[in-house]
Amino acid sequence: MDYESAYPTIGQLAQQPNAAQAIVNYLHDHFASYSWVGLYWVEGSDLVLGEWNGPEATEHTRIAIGTGVCGAAAASGRTEIVGDVSRDSRYLACFSSTKSEIVVPIFADGSVIGEIDIDASALNAFGAEDQRFLERVAAVLAGVRTSTSTARAARR
Ligand code: SME
C-alpha cells in the first residue's frame, strides 16, 4: 500500500462511527509490515490502551508516561522509531515476534492526548516515510478523538 493513496481513505474512515477502530484496522490490514497496531490514550499520568488490531492482545494495557518507548514518546511529544527493540533499554516487550517499533504522538491543542504504536516482526521496518504518513494519520485521529469526546460531553 502506498502512503499517498492510503491517506484519503483514512480521511473517509474518520467520518464513520467507530472511526478510530476503523483506522487502526485499515493500517493493520493494508500495510504488510504493520503487524500490531494500537492506540494508547492519555489518562492522567498514564497511557491506556484503546483500539488495537493484531494477532495477540498485549499485557501492557496501562503504561506510565515516561516508561517504555510508548511512555518516552508521550513525555517528549516526539515520534520514536526503534529499529531493533533488543538494543533499546526502554523497550517494554509485548510480543516475542516484535523486532522494530514506531510510536507517534497524537496532539490536541498542543498537548499529547494519545499515540499510535505499531510493532513489526522485521528489523528496521519503519522509516521517514512511515513517520510522515503516521504523523498525518495522528492528526486525523486527534480530530476523531476530540469530536467524540465533545459529543460525549454534549450528551451528558
Ligand atoms: N513496546 C511498547 C509497549 C507497548 S507494546 O509494544 C504493544 C513500549 O516499549 O512502550
pLDDT at residue 156 tops 90: no
Distance 156 CA to ligand 1 centre (A): 34
What pLDDT, on a 0 to 100 scale, did the predictor assign at position 153? 76
Select from 28, 84, 86, 82 the least CA-distant residue to 55.
28
Q: How far is the CA of 68 from the centre of ligand 1 (A)?
A: 6
What the block records as the C-alpha cell of 94 is 509485548
Cα gap 107→77, rounded to integer Å: 8
Q: Ligand 1 centre from 37 Cα, in Å?
A: 11
9-63 per-position pLDDT tens digit: 999 999 999 999 999 999 999 999 999 999 999 999 999 999 999 999 999 999 9
Give the ligand 1 atom nearest the CA of 70. 10
Residue 138 banded pLDDT, cuts 50, 70, 90: very high
